Structure 1
Amino acid sequence: MANEIRIFLAKQVIERRKKAKLSQAALSKLTNLSIARISEIERAIANPTLDTLETLAKVFNVSLVDLLDYEGSLSSTDRIKEKLRIVLGILTKSSYRPFFVDTSNTKIVISPVHAA
């Protein structure tokens, strides 16, 4: 999943950089990031920090949410699956584990499995 998000972010940066008619060198100067770092982000190799993402968003004149709108690029089914992964990840870290998901009535129900 993390790799998918890095790939999405890489595409976002490339698309927005080209739309702004900026070279990697020009983006490097505007962000105070090295050209190598810009290249790593665009090749989905780097895990940029929050500060880096905020800087890129400012340079591209978009909100951080818009830059990172990974969910917006997913189908509704994929968004539901992603939200379930997040929710289940949070819930299973708590004392309420394990959990099951019942989708039999087209409603997603998350409830703890009760021990017998």
Structure 2
Amino acid sequence: MLLLLYVSKWLWARANALTEFEHPVLCCFIGLVPVSTVIVGLAIAPYSRAIAVVLFVVGAIGQLSFGVYRSGRLWMGGRKPETITPILYLPTVAGGFVSAIVASAPGSAAIH
């Protein structure tokens, strides 16, 4: 439900979504969308292996892509010191940890 609401934000309030995407701090919370997709893949694995694998792959690629994009923006410099907060690690660290945990979980659809 939350994913549908977030997609609808991009469809009907695109200016607000783009402002959030370009914000130096709020943008990192967007990285939770693919991370939660990976987690849902693990939750669905006992019921449908095919759907679980698709969710895992889409989520892992999504978090990796977004993490690379955000890290690249950090490396370009020009940030104000007050925008350098721990949330900047969310897209790369949280996404990597969650993907690794799901991929290594016993019975995980990602590795079997």
Structure scoring higher RCO (CA < 8 A, sep ≥ 6) equals 2
Higher helix residue share: 2
TM-score by length of 1: 0.26
Higher strand residue share: 1
TM-score by length of 2: 0.26
